Structure 1
């Protein structure tokens, strides 16, 4: 059912729902638009409405070929909406779900486009704060780029900042998508441009591997890994590209590249990646396994599946729990110091079980049984040898095997 948004726009059809609101296919004075209508409880928050108005100039001023342009911000009664360009295509999460992982050339070309978008935003003083595949749209009507990739555009600028108000989040809470949060956010530092670089490097890792470097399991464990663990190498990619990834995933924000530098360095890698197939890396289990001595939980009837994003395009799927505004507790210092205790989602060669997984524990048990049997066999051999040695010692004494008893 159509509804009016302000005096200039009409929302005609729901494209998807997310934790912050609903995305509609709409119509404006200049044609089709995407309208992100925030939830009613957010629209009734006067502090948030004030922040919304304050951000209007900054968001409307973001214009770049790789940024989904915000055309208008509407405050009308109970309606609080962002009006944006409509992109004819799909989002990067949907493509990942379909293909599992991308060829390195296409992955790098897409991430270079997003880095261009971030460079323009950072130059304007805007930090995105929620870079992830759900917020990268692929323009199916644009010209094909390296590796057959479609032009990539970054969307949802300003939404995380609007929601993250002091009254809505306490000092012990953080706002963001766990898999892509930079370590400094986990530690309570204010988000600077470097957090977008860390998130974008995480996206590149995910496009290449099919999973994020520190994701999996409870959000608290994911946050801890961002702070305490080092990224596990991906086999099969050029060393120069890997070092670029490592630098942008550095724990120290100052060690990461700026967005413009990252875009340039990525495009330098494209000739070496031409024709390279997707990496052959086993995907880790979708959730943490219990410890070996713990009681196993009941098996799930269905595997964990990552659903699509709410994109600003027709035909998008409902949003997932990887949405922007997941509220999480900040781990205490002693928890961060404790490490992840082997829960990192490390890539491995095809067929090899992940440490801590059910297959890995079964293999450990088989090795223990084998070693136990081997130990018993060794003990038996030693015992038999000792018996023979004793028998040889007795054979040295005079024996009368044919004697008869005296009468």
Structure 2
């Protein structure tokens, strides 16, 4: 059902639902647009509406081929909406769910496009704060790039900042998608441009591996890994690409590249990636040693029309894309205390497991552990029985009746 958005726009069809609101296919004075209508509870927050208006100039002034431009901001009664360019294609999450992982050349080309968009935003003083595959759109009508990659555009600039108001998130709260949060955000520091570089490097790792470097399990465990653990190497990619990923996933923000540097370095690596197939790695276990076994954790909602495997929800902004799986990827959590961040496993993050090996915490893993315990118990009983038999033999009638007297310290006898 169509609805009016302000005096100039009409929302005709829902394209998707995200944690911040609903995306509509709309019509404006200059043709089709995408309209992100924020949730009613956000629209009723007068402080947020004020921040929304204050950000108007910065958001409307961000123009770049790899950024989905915001055309207008609408504040009308209970409606709070961003009117954006309509990108005809799909989002990166949808492609990743379909293909599981991308060939290195295509993955690097897509991430280089996004880095170019971030470079323009950072130069304008805008930090995205929620870089993830759901917020990367692939323009199916644009020219194909290296590896057959469609042009990539970053969307939803400013949404995280608008929602993350002092009233809504006190100093003891953090907002973001756990898998992509930089360590400094977990530790409660203000987000700078470097947080977008960390998140984008996480996206690149995910495109290559099929999983994020620190994801899996309870969100609290994911946050701890960002702070305490190191990233697991990916086999089969050039060392130059791996070192670039490691540098951009550095715990210290100052050690990471700037967005323009990252884009240039990635494009320099494209020739050596030509023709490389997707990596052949198995997914790591999804559990944290300090958490309950995976079977006892709540199941994630499968994506509609999928194969039943747990999927992350997508927030499509384009016609023809299916709605997301209602998974709220934008999470508000308490900032962990230093002792909590120091707890748990240290060292290397979840290593990709050997194909066919049981996952730690799985039913197969627990069954194998039980078999090992039973084997050890039986071996212990056999050992005890053997020791007992030896003792019985030593005290039985078959043993010598007496032992010679030890006279080494006896006194001389008297006549």
Is the structural similarity TM-score above 0.5?
yes
| Equivalent pair of 1:160/1:324 in contact (CA under 8 Å) | no
Which deviations, in whole Å up to 9, do the C-alpha atoms of 1:162-185 show, x marking residues without a partner?
A: 000000111211111111000100
TM superposition shift of 1:299: 21
Which piece of structure 1 moves more, 395-404 or 93-102?
Answer: 395-404
TM superposition shift of 1:339: 2.8
1:369 aligns with 2:374: yes
Pick closer, same or farther for the CA change 1:342–1:168 going to 2, 3 Å.
Answer: same
Which deviations, in whole Å up to 9, do the C-alpha atoms of 1:198-254 show, x marking residues without a partner?
A: 000111111111111111121111111111111111122221111111111111000
Pick closer, same or farther for the CA change 1:197–1:168 going to 2, 3 Å.
Answer: same
Which deviations, in whole Å up to 9, do the C-alpha atoms of 1:343-390 show, x marking residues without a partner?
A: 953212322334444433333333444455556667788999999999
Which deviations, in whole Å up to 9, do the C-alpha atoms of 1:230-284 show, x marking residues without a partner?
A: 1111122221111111111111000111111111111122122222221122213
TM superposition shift of 1:323: 4.3
Q: CA RMSD in A?
A: 6.5
Pick closer, same or farther for the CA change 1:300–1:139 going to 2, 3 Å.
Answer: closer
For structure 2, the residue ranges without an aligned partner over 5 or more in a row are: 297-301
Which deviations, in whole Å up to 9, do the C-alpha atoms of 1:33-70 show, x marking residues without a partner?
A: 00001112211211111111111111111111110111
Aligned-partner SS, 2:58:
helix
Pick closer, same or farther for the CA change 1:403–1:229 going to 2, 3 Å.
Answer: closer
For structure 1, the residue ranges without an aligned partner over 5 or more in a row are: none
Which piece of structure 1 moves more, 172-181 or 332-341?
Answer: 332-341
Pick closer, same or farther for the CA change 1:298–1:46 going to 2, 3 Å.
Answer: closer
| CA distance, structure 2, for counterparts of residue 58 and residue 177 of structure 1 | 24
TM superposition shift of 1:328: 0.8
Which deviations, in whole Å up to 9, do the C-alpha atoms of 1:281-300 show, x marking residues without a partner?
A: 2213999643999xxx9999
TM superposition shift of 1:312: 1.2
| CA distance, structure 1, for counterparts of residue 306 and residue 259 of structure 2 | 43
Aligned-partner SS, 1:327:
strand
Pick closer, same or farther for the CA change 1:79–1:152 going to 2, 3 Å.
Answer: same
| Equivalent pair of 1:179/1:222 in contact (CA under 8 Å) | yes
Aligned-partner SS, 1:369:
helix
| Equivalent pair of 1:109/1:145 in contact (CA under 8 Å) | yes
Which of 347, 358, 365 matches 2:352?
347
TM superposition shift of 1:116: 0.7
| Equivalent pair of 2:129/2:191 in contact (CA under 8 Å) | yes
Pick closer, same or farther for the CA change 1:45–1:299 going to 2, 3 Å.
Answer: closer
Give TM-score, length-normalised by structure 2.
0.85
Aligned length: 403
Pick closer, same or farther for the CA change 1:287–1:208 going to 2, 3 Å.
Answer: farther
| CA distance, structure 2, for counterparts of residue 73 and residue 305 of structure 1 | 35
Aligned-partner SS, 1:32:
strand
TM superposition shift of 1:304: 6.0
